[in-house]
Amino acid sequence: MFNCMMTKELDLIYQELAYNLALKGKISCYPNPAVGCLIVKEGQIISLGYHKFAGTAHAERDAVEKLQQAYPDTWQEKIAHAHVYVTLEPCAHYGRTPPCANLLADCKVAKVTYLSADTTDKVNGKGVKILREAGVEVEFVPWQQCLNLNKDFFALQAQADLPFIKVKIGASLDSKIALPNGNSKWITSLQAREYVQALRWQSDAILTSAKTLIIDQAKYNVRYEQLPQEVKNYLAVKDLKQPKVVIFDNSFLLTGQEEIFKHHQSQNLIIVSQKEHPLANKIPELNFVVGYNSHQKQDLEKILQILKQEYALANVLVETGSSLTNFFLEQKLFSQLHYFMAPKILGSGVQALATQEKFTQLEQCLTLNLLYQINLNEDNLYLVYEQK
């Protein structure tokens, strides 16, 4: 009985360690899922790994390769009959790397415990089948945290009508994004701002308003030198692709002289307005979406549909002021909320979250579900939510 309890407790520890390994790769492995792997034999962790960047070794292969490097002559003996813990079902297809299910089968491991199912067509049980046919014991222990970590990956595999919308907020502990005088540099830490650069790098487009763009003199580009080191370790400068920028400008505030026009090619910019924009004659190379009021839910849905279907923008980051941010939240037109929280209390200032809805019952409020959190330096938190 005691040994059984100890085994279960150790299983939980190993599963938690595998999850934490997966979390380490989350910011850099896009567009692939984040996966962690632990190899255990006779109660000892003999190797571990995680997927760091698309095109590099998957978590299982990373762990095996580390074992090979540590024990070049005896690694096969060490891994034989081992127990592998992995956060996602081992893949079964040839992509930029060979299938992990075959690798583990060839290594003659005794058991594989996986913590979330891979429902994509290329896997979806095929990895389990390969392992079982090779005589490997396979155990599925569903961990909601592991599923939560890759919800964006699985959503982007589906053919939805609307883009996957990530709303980004960087705020103080009391939900302020600036002081009353507009000063906001910097509320969040350097590492938090590096993660924002990574979110931009992961996105097909950044969506903002002309007002925010002008006030902040924003460029809305990905600055390579400001990316997290985890990304720069594998991404070459020449391979950095800039996202498109979608600008809502019903009031015709843009003149063509703003910073963004100096840092993006015209064809990389999409201007959305209710009526024909004056810049259509001045800079015809720009893209225009005309005839929709972005302050009405029905029109906003149509705009997002156009961005997905006509411009192939599947993954969109909303990075804008509080008014448009809150409109997306109020209308529930978002997939995830990415909240960077700094341990500062501003007191008065510009409120990050201030919806116009006047609720009378708590049940009416927008309720969120925390998917995962990453602790950043200077006690900043990176919190990722979805609608409950």
pTM: 0.93
pLDDT of residue 226 exceeding 80:
yes
Round to whole Å and give the CA distance between 245 and 210. 11
Q: Which stretches of the chain are DSSP H helices?
A: 2-24, 59-70, 75-79, 100-106, 126-133, 144-149, 151-157, 190-202, 210-216, 229-232, 259-263, 279-282, 297-309, 322-330
Whether residue 170 is annotated as binding a ligand: the answer is: yes
Whether residue 91 is annotated as binding a ligand: the answer is: yes
Return the bridge partners of 176, or none. 351
Confidence of residue 6 (pLDDT cuts 50, 70, 90): low
Quick: pLDDT tens for 59-74.
999 999 999 999 999 9
Which listed residue (60, 89, 194, 230) is catalytic?
60
Instruction: Give the H or E element holding residue 205.
Output: strand 205-209
- Bridge-based pairing of strands 111-114 and 137-140 is parallel
Whether residue 212 is annotated as binding a ligand: the answer is: yes
Whether residue 223 is annotated as binding a ligand: the answer is: yes
Catalytic status, residue 60: yes
- List the 287-290 sheet strands across, edge first: 287-290, 269-273, 244-248, 205-209, 315-318, 164-171, 336-341, 381-387, 368-375
Angle value at C-alpha 322, between 321 and 323, nearest 5 degrees = 95
Quick: pLDDT tens for 106-162.
999 999 999 999 999 889 999 999 999 999 999 999 999 999 999 999 999 887 899
User: What percent of the chain is predicted at pLDDT more than 90?
Assistant: 80
pLDDT of residue 4 exceeding 60:
no
Domains of the chain as residue ranges with CATH: 1-149 (3.40.140.10), 159-387 (3.40.430.10)
Angle value at C-alpha 371, between 158 and 118, nearest 5 degrees = 40
Whether residue 184 is annotated as binding a ligand: the answer is: yes
Whether residue 107 is annotated as binding a ligand: the answer is: no
Weakest-pLDDT range from 1-10, 60-69, 228-237, 377-386: 1-10
- Bridge-based pairing of strands 164-171 and 315-318 is parallel
- Bridge-based pairing of strands 381-387 and 336-341 is antiparallel
- Bridge-based pairing of strands 381-387 and 164-171 is unpaired
Whether residue 291 is annotated as binding a ligand: the answer is: no
Residue 211, SS3? Answer: helix
Confidence of residue 356 (pLDDT cuts 50, 70, 90): low
Whether residue 360 is annotated as binding a ligand: the answer is: no
Whether residue 201 is annotated as binding a ligand: the answer is: no
Query: Which two tokens mark 113?
Result: 């415990």
pLDDT of residue 2 exceeding 50:
no
Residue 351, SS3? Answer: strand
